[in-house]
Amino acid sequence: MSDTVEKIVIIGSGPAAWSAAIYAARANLNPVVYEGSYTEENRLANNLPMGQLYTTTEIENYPGFPHGDVGAYLKSAIGEERSYMLAPHEEGGSVTGPELVELIRQQAVNFGTRVVSAEIVDLDVSQRPFKLTDNEGETCMAQTIIIATGARANWLGLASEEQFKNRGVSACAVCDGALPRFRNKPLAVIGGGDSAIEEALYLTNFASKVYLIHRRDEFRASKAMAKKAFDNEKIEILFNRVPVEFIGNDTEGLTSLKIKSTVDGQEMTISVTGVFCAIGHTPNTAFLQGKIALTEKRYVELPQAHRMATSVSGIFAAGDCADDYYRQAITSAGTGAMAALEAERFLSAEE
Ligand code: NDP
């Protein structure tokens, strides 16, 4: 264990974590970011460092990144050191999720952020400074902590689903819905909650038709949302059905979806170029259980409106681990900055 007590330790590596680091570094707090670890276990659990953005494609709605020659900019901003991890950028186009998060990371590093490629697995919050333990058994001490561990979309878990992720199978209509492969084509959304209906409604802006596939004969979503789905002519609701296989090929990606009736087991195949899973998210907060207050759905509880302070004085949270509502890169980055500003003010008040 190092004897040094860090002023601020940030846990996570999505837009919230790196934005917090940019603000903390510029405030001379000399932040350390635990970005997670590249273990096989994390790969299989969809929990590798750099967060959910690293698993998406083009990002068209992040302010400051209109279409343009992003490739040239990336080369100059990131350099060779990490750009080798990114797929080559074709001329023009939008910034991609991995590129955007690499850029934010680089900005944090440029201001002196120290990065540890390990995962915090335990926290002792019983006294300050807090003690953090990583997956290699190393410990560190911190006066303040920002938790920005994100969340992961729930997937159905079918083998064929994995095969077509980012090639027709997505878990975020707002992120991916406007991509060319989904325009004027039939699409499907899986789920019966508010998110599923919201995604289906959003996709009607681009799709020729949207199948909304739910495993029961009643929506979990609010009545008002359900009415919008029933009233929309572009949406065809298929109740009592579950996906059984994603079908496609190497050149076209996903081309159709096989679904099964939960009533009589009958199968049918629908032609779709995209399937959006909206079956909920799981926040990455298991290691916080019993340490800081979590909501019923296990998101980090933020007791005060518009503040990032958690139930433990000196610990702040940002991004999707504390947000089951907005879940956007820009909102995560914003709350990361807010958390760092709060941590800075907390430390100054103590001094
Ligand atoms: P929910 O947990 O509310 O809904 C998840 C849906 O996915 C349920 O219908 C569930 O079915 C279905 N589902 C879960 N697992 C599977 C599976 N393995 N196979 C097939 N279907 C599955 O999550 P949401 O993301 O929709 O909503 C989260 C929260 O955010 C809610 O509180 C919601 O109200 C809120 N929200 C509000 C919005 C708004 O007000 N505009 C917009 C979006 C979200 P079943 O019903 O059978 O359990």
Cis (ω within 30 of 0) for the bond into 129? yes
The pLDDT of residue 228 is above 60: yes
- Check residue 57 and give its pLDDT: 73
249 and 286 share one domain = no
pLDDT at residue 56 in the model:
73
Catalytic residues: 172, 175-176
**Do both 28 and 140 map to the same domain?**
yes
Output 146 or 92, whichever has higher pLDDT.
146
Sign (positive/negative) of CA torsion 158, 100, 331, 59?
A: negative
Ligand 1 is surrounded, with C-beta below 6 A, by 156, 190-196, 198, 215-216, 220, 242, 278-280, 324
* Span from the CA of 200 to the centroid of ligand 1 (angstroms): 13
Q: Percent of the chain at pLDDT above 90?
A: 74
Q: How many Å lie between the centroid of ligand 1 and the Cα of residue 192?
A: 6
* Over residues 189-218, mean pLDDT: 95
The residue whose CA has the least distance to atom 19 of ligand 1 is 156
Q: Would you place residue 1 in the very low, low, confident or very high pLDDT band (cuts 50, 70, 90)?
A: low
Q: Which tokens go with 239? A: 């109740």
Distance of CA 35 to the CA centre of its chain: 14
> Is pLDDT of 141 > 60?
yes
Residue 2, pLDDT score: 63
Domain boundary among 242, 277, 312: 277
* Winning range, highest mean pLDDT, from 137-146, 162-171, 176-185: 137-146
pLDDT band at 79 (very low <50, low <70, confident <90, very high): confident
Q: Give the structural domain span for 203.
A: 159-277
Which neighbouring-strand residues pair with 146?
Answer: 10, 316
Give the number of the atom of ligand 1 that is nearest the alpha carbon of residue 225: 41
Is there a single domain that holds both residue 271 and residue 291? no
CA dihedral 229, 231, 232, 238 (to 10 degrees): 50
- Taking residues 230-246, what's their average pLDDT? 98
Q: What is the mean pLDDT of residues 131-158?
A: 95
User: How many whole angstroms separate alpha carbon 248 and alpha carbon 291?
Assistant: 45
Residue nearest to atom 32 of ligand 1 (CA): 194
Last residue of a domain, one of 254, 277, 300: 277
For residues 21 and 103, membership in a common domain is answered with yes
Looking at residue 83, its pLDDT comes to: 72
- Position 94 scores a pLDDT of 85
Ramachandran category for residue 131: left, alpha or beta (phi over 0 → left; psi -120 to 50 → alpha): beta
Tell me what pLDDT residue 45 has: 64
Which pair of structure tokens corresponds to residue 143? 């006066």
Does 169 score more than 90 pLDDT? yes
pLDDT band at 149 (very low <50, low <70, confident <90, very high): very high
* Per-residue confidence band for 40, with pLDDT thresholds at 50, 70 and 90: confident
Query: Of all protein residues, whose CA lies closest to atom 9 belonging to ligand 1?
Result: 192
pLDDT at 25 > cutoff 90: yes
Nearest protein CA to atom 29 of ligand 1, as residue = 324
Question: Predicted confidence band at 59 (pLDDT cuts at 50, 70, 90)?
Answer: confident
Assigned token pair, 273 = 């170029």
Domain of 334, CATH number, reads 3.50.50.60
Please check whether residues 295 and 263 belong to one and the same domain. Answer: no
Residue closest by Cα to atom 16 of ligand 1:
279
**How many whole angstroms separate alpha carbon 329 and alpha carbon 319?**
8
Q: Do both 197 and 148 map to the same domain?
A: no
Type and span of the H or E element at 234: none
**Radius of gyration from C-alpha coordinates of the chain:** 21
pTM for the whole structure: 0.80
Closest ligand 1 atom to residue 220 Cα is 46
Q: What is the mean pLDDT of the chain?
A: 93
Residue 312 and residue 265 in one domain: no
- Using the mean position of ligand 1's atoms as its centre, give its distance from the Cα of residue 193 in Å: 3
Average pLDDT for residues 148-163, to the nearest whole number?
Answer: 92
**pLDDT band for position 282 (50/70/90)?**
very high
Output the CA angle 290-283-226, nearest 5 degrees: 125
Query: CA-to-CA distance for 301 and 316, rounded, in angstroms?
Result: 10
- Residue range 217-244: mean pLDDT, rounded: 97
Indicate whether 12 and 131 sit together in one domain.
yes
Residue that is last in its domain, among 277, 312, 329:
277
In terms of domains, do 129 and 183 share one?
no
Q: Which of 158, 195, 197 to mutate to test the pocket of ligand 1 (most atoms within 8 A of CB)?
A: 195
Instruction: Say whether both 236 and 305 belong to one domain.
Output: no
Q: Structurally, how many domains does the chain consist of?
A: 2
Which ligand 1 atom sits nearest the alpha carbon of residue 222? 34
- Percent of the chain residues topping a pLDDT of 70: 98
Cα 59–109–44 angle (5° rounding)? 55
Are residues 12 and 148 located together in one domain of the fold? yes
The reply to whether 138 and 190 lie within a common domain is no
Question: What's the pLDDT tens digit per position in 295-320?
Answer: 999 999 999 999 999 999 999 999 99
The residue to mutate among 219, 279, 296, 298, having the most atoms of ligand 1 within 8 angstroms of its beta carbon, is 279
- What integer pLDDT is reported at residue 217 of this predicted model? 97
Query: Which of 147, 176, 191, 198 has the alpha carbon at shortest distance from 53?
Result: 176
Q: In one letter, which amino acid is 50?
A: M
Mean pLDDT of 67-89: 80
User: Separation of 95 CA from ligand 1 center, angstroms?
Assistant: 29
Count the neighbouring beta carbons within 10 Å of the beta carbon of residue 2.
9
- DSSP one-letter string for 138-200: -EEEEEEEEE---EEE-----HHHHHTBTTTEES-HHHHTTSGGGTTSEEEEE-SSHHHHHHH
Look up tokens 């996570």; give the residue. Answer: 12
Q: How far is the CA of 190 from the centre of ligand 1 (A)?
A: 10
CA 333 – CA 73 distance, rounded (Å): 21
